[in-house]
Amino acid sequence: MNTKKTFGQALCGVLCFTSIFLAACAGAAPAPRDPAAVYTLVVLDTNDHHGAILARDGKAGLAERATFVNSIRAQYQNVLLLDAGDINTGSALSNMFDAEPDIKAYNMIGYAAAALGNHEFDNKLPVFETQQKQAKFTWLAANIKRSNGAYLAKPYIIKNYEGFRVAIIGLTTKMSQILESPDKSLVFLDETETAKEMIKKVREEEKADIVILLTHMGDVKEDDRQTTSIELAQAVSGVDLIIDGHSHSYFAEKKVVNGIPVVTTNSKGFYVGEGLFTIQDGKALSFTWKPVEITSKDFPPDPKVAALIAPYSAKADASLKTVVMKTSAPFLADNKISRYQETTLGDFTADAMVDFIRSNGKAADFAFVNGGALRATLPQGDVTMESIINSMPFDNVLFAASLKGKDVIKLFEFIGSIRQGAGAWAQVSKEVRYTITYDKTGKGAISGLTINGQAVDPAKDYRLVAVDYLVVDGGDGYTVLKDNVFDTFNTSMILNSVVIEYAAKQAQPVTPKADGRITVIGGISPDAP
């Protein structure tokens, strides 16, 4: 790794040392430059990490990410590493330690700054304040203030390089107030007006040459109240780059909006954006960008980051043996029974999904899960975290979304048409009741559908809960969801973590019991030839 300080970096260090009033060299004099010289800056970007500490199936992983970043630093003198928010919430390993291993790894990898994402408010405010102290990078949010007018995090930072000066301004979606439950003392300001104010400040007062907006706003409009990064780009000027998060979008190349490049790199560290500025006399001549896939094959784990993570992982592995629920009988999933009929495991899982959304202050009319997501029986007696993860092994993330009643009817018409034995066969929460009748050819049809004891009103909006595989991808044939849902909310919580949390708060021991929410007439059993 290149550790040589540029002249501008050395100047910044001297100024910061000699004045207690300078933070991150804000207000320091611009570094001298040769007007004829062409300088370069590599900007590396990530977003929506969501606790993805370890590689999955040879992809992503913080230690692997570190190897890639170090390889870039070995090639270039000026490298700026930024994250567009949502470091928190996703994996059991990260959640268990309130993202402490994530933040320490970010420190070691050498992040300069991270925007606050909406999931930074999943925990109480003191948890984030602890994370601020743990971080050697700077948390940024120019549009979030405390009730006394002080910023919750820094609004921007200034980075001096030889020949040019860079400002990074942080912005967080105001939708955080709706999607999460931030401390009531916090005030969220308009993103666009704040951006304009801060751009003017860093251009005029800080003499920044390059201005980067590090935003957690999303490029996909999910709600009329949401301002997207695309809309922000259309409304501002004087910006050289927007690095965005929140929507988990994959960009194969930069989007240019109103002359401003906008980039984002999917989620969970599967990609790191690699951008390259060429700069002359304080102006960006060009900017190229590409997403780089992070794989263990191409970027073997960095040993220092791997060693940092190891003790946390060991503690988490030990905790997998923790008993979270005691049962009086098994929750069956043998012989793929959840693909044929109502099961106690299906009931329990779907009810857990509704409970999680409601426990977090959100509305939920019903939930359903595809039977193929339920892979192993939960035993009689002690049920450990490991048992539940083995039963629900996929990294399926819980989503809430709205659907018109007419499309809810179409959804259940599709559910009724699914042949028994298919992974798409649905298990539903206790709010739902229906009968599926199969003819001799195995074709089914639904009748008597009710939600919360009422027939579905075609004109009403319903709030459903399901996993991303169904809601976002339309997997298992659920295109009616992909094509028609609106007001989606990504909880970033994996299904098995939601069920573990639900299991732990039940009165013990738990007695598995199917309550007749799904009646099957005709059809076959999983034991049938």
Q: Given a cut of 60, is residue 373 above it in pLDDT?
A: yes
pLDDT of residue 358: 97
Q: For 314-324, how does the pLDDT look when each residue is reduced to its tens digit (9 = 90+)?
A: 998 998 899 99
Cis omega before residue 311 (within 30°)?
no
Amino acid letter for position 31: A
Give the pLDDT mean for 465-491. Answer: 93
Q: For 53-99, how does the pLDDT look when each residue is reduced to its tens digit (9 = 90+)?
A: 999 889 999 999 999 999 999 999 999 999 999 999 888 788 889 99
Q: For residue 32, how many other CB atoms are within 10 A of its CB? A: 10
Q: What is the CATH number of the domain that holds 106?
A: 3.60.21.10
Asked whether residue 250 falls in the same domain as residue 178, the answer is yes
Asked whether residue 114 falls in the same domain as residue 239, the answer is yes
Q: What percent of the chain has pLDDT over 90?
A: 81
Do 64 and 199 meet the contact criterion of CB atoms below 8 Å apart? no
Asked whether residue 270 falls in the same domain as residue 214, the answer is yes
Is there a domain that residue 13 lies in? no
C-alpha angle with apex 98: 95 to 99, nearest 5 degrees? 85
Asked whether residue 82 falls in the same domain as residue 116, the answer is yes
Is the model more confident about 22 or about 253?
253
Asked whether residue 326 falls in the same domain as residue 310, the answer is no
Is there a domain that residue 345 lies in? yes
Give the pLDDT mean for 415-422. Answer: 92
Encoding tokens for residue 471?
């809601």
> Which residues form the domain of 430?
322-521
Continuous H helices in 62-99: 62-75, 92-96
Model confidence at 24, in pLDDT bands (50, 70, 90)?
Answer: very low
Model confidence at 25, in pLDDT bands (50, 70, 90)?
Answer: very low
Is there a domain that residue 207 lies in? yes
Q: What is the DSSP string of 429-451?
A: -TTEEEEEEE-TTS-EEEEEEEE
Q: For 270-329, how does the pLDDT look when each residue is reduced to its tens digit (9 = 90+)?
A: 999 999 999 999 999 999 999 999 999 999 999 999 999 999 999 989 988 999 999 999
> 290, 315, 340: which is the final residue of a domain?
315
pLDDT of residue 473: 87
Give, for 153, the enclosing helix (H) or strand (E). none
Is there a domain that residue 516 lies in? yes
Asked whether residue 245 falls in the same domain as residue 393, the answer is no
Q: What is the CATH number of the domain that holds 395?
A: 3.90.780.10
Asked whether residue 159 falls in the same domain as residue 132, the answer is yes
Q: Given a cut of 50, is residue 27 above it in pLDDT?
A: no
Please tell me the distance from the alpha carbon of residue 114 to that of residue 83, in angstroms, as a whole number. Answer: 5
Please tell me the distance from the alpha carbon of residue 388 to that of residue 129, in angstroms, as a whole number. Answer: 32
pTM above 0.75, yes or no: yes
Continuous H helices in 369-494: 385-391, 405-417, 468-471, 479-484
Is there a domain that residue 236 lies in? yes
Q: For 97-147, how does the pLDDT look when each residue is reduced to its tens digit (9 = 90+)?
A: 999 999 999 999 999 999 999 999 988 899 999 999 999 999 999 999 999
pLDDT of residue 30: 61
Continuous H helices in 80-190: 92-96, 100-109, 125-134, 176-179
pLDDT of residue 282: 95
> 259, 286, 315: which is the final residue of a domain?
315
Is there a domain that residue 31 lies in? no
What is the gyration radius of the CA atoms in the chain, in angstroms? 25
Please tell me the distance from the alpha carbon of residue 353 to that of residue 369, in angstroms, as a whole number. Answer: 9
> 270, 290, 315: which is the final residue of a domain?
315
Q: Given a cut of 80, is residue 11 above it in pLDDT?
A: no
Which of these ranges, 375-384, 390-399, 498-507, 516-525, has the smallest mean pLDDT?
Answer: 390-399
Please tell me the distance from the alpha carbon of residue 443 to that of residue 449, in angstroms, as a whole number. Answer: 18
Q: Given a cut of 80, is residue 148 above it in pLDDT?
A: yes
Is there a domain that residue 10 lies in? no
Asked whether residue 375 falls in the same domain as residue 252, the answer is no
Is there a domain that residue 526 lies in? no
Number of domains in the chain: 2
